[in-house]
Amino acid sequence: MAPAVDIDIDPDSSTAPFDQLRLQIIEQVRSGQLIAGTKIPTVRALAVEVGLAPNTVAKAYRELGEQGVIETRGKQGTFIASGGDPIRARAEKAATGYVQELRKLGVSDEEILGFVQSALRGAE
């Protein structure tokens, strides 16, 4: 049986339950609580454990799979993916692509930094 994933869903949160689940699994991977190769519960088992609909857990698992956080190995089950922090790797790739695209447009590094700082202020 897969080890329990420590998830606490807050029904009063403004964050959707599937996002709460997804973000908590990501945090447990980053903190080392869930390490590469760890088998995690099936969709149905986790749904029962945390009190969510199976479709909600399936949606979170799909997104985690797309982000490279988990991988499904057919009938063997679902596991924490190997290879460092996939979220950081994806973020670094996105940042690199952003800078390359703006440089192609002739935007200076100082202007690029200004755009990022403005975007960060606007996201607060």
pLDDT tens string 51-60: 999 999 999 9
> Do 40 and 80 meet the contact criterion of CB atoms below 8 Å apart?
yes
> How many CB atoms neighbour CB 67 within 10 A?
15
Query: How remote is the C-alpha of 40 from its chain's centroid?
Result: 15
CA angle at residue 86 from 85 to 91, to 5 degrees?
105
The DSSP 8-state label assigned to residue 74 in this structure reads G
pTM of the model as a whole: 0.67
Residue 84: predicted pLDDT: 61
Cα–Cα dist 86/72, whole Å: 15
Residue 89: predicted pLDDT: 66
Cα–Cα dist 64/26, whole Å: 8
> How many CB atoms neighbour CB 22 within 10 A?
22
What is Dmax (Cα atoms) for the chain?
55
Structure tokens at 109: 């590094």
The length of the chain, given as a count of residues: 124
The DSSP 8-state label assigned to residue 121 in this structure reads H
Each residue's pLDDT, cut to its tens digit, for the chain (124 residues) gives: 445 689 999 999 999 999 999 999 999 988 878 888 889 999 999 999 999 999 999 999 999 999 889 999 889 999 988 766 667 767 767 887 898 899 999 999 999 999 999 999 987 6
3-state helix, strand, coil in the chain (%, to 5): 60, 5, 35
